[in-house]
Amino acid sequence: MDAEAALRRELHQLRRRRSDVAGSVLAGVDGLHITSDLPGINPEHVAAMAAAGAGLGGRFADTVGQGQLREIVVHGTEGYVACYPAGRQALLAVVTRPAVNLTRLHPEARALAHRLGDLVDSLWPPAPGTTGTPAPRPATELRTSRATRTPATGPRTVLDRRRPPGHP
């Protein structure tokens, strides 16, 4: 059995064991799709969004002094998406149904992410001189980039979009 089939089998088994799991995606930390078991949803989009969310979540946790990222949970009206680091180079995104018990899902998904991460890291070692995960930007760099924004170049807010043209 090839590596991708073994990874996909692990994802499929999670969905078969848990009726509250709609599917899952294994993504690289760069946002590229590795493999998935997620019927009816574009796994490449999920992979990209999982990587973006994990990058932001990791920086957020670091900035506020909460340590390393353990998971990201997005709660929607129709269920959850939980993303877990999987080794140095991958992320596991689990899409659930609304009635999921997250207290039971987290340990099982973390263990799966650990197994998948070990396999990915053993099959595709990071390039020489890299750790496999993007390094967070230092807080001073974040402050500097915010300080150089001006009202004309800064991001628009939700409130700005709601104002009619010509109104301050």
Which has more confidence, 3 or 109? 109
Q: What is the DSSP code string of 121-138?
A: HHHSPPPTT--SSPPPPP
11 CB contacts (<8 Å, ≥6 apart)? 23, 24, 25, 26, 35, 36, 37
CATH 3.20.20.150 fits 3-123, yes or no: no
pTM summary value: 0.74
pLDDT, tens digit (0-9, with 9 covering 90-100), for 92-140? 999 999 999 999 999 999 999 999 999 999 887 766 665 555 444 333 3
User: Residue 102 to residues 21, 57, 95, 97: CA-CA distances in angstroms?
Assistant: 11, 18, 12, 11
Mean pLDDT of 12-34: 96
Q: Which sequence spans correspond to the domains of the chain?
A: 3-123
The conformational region for residue 38 under phi > 0 = left, psi -120 to 50 = alpha, else beta, is beta
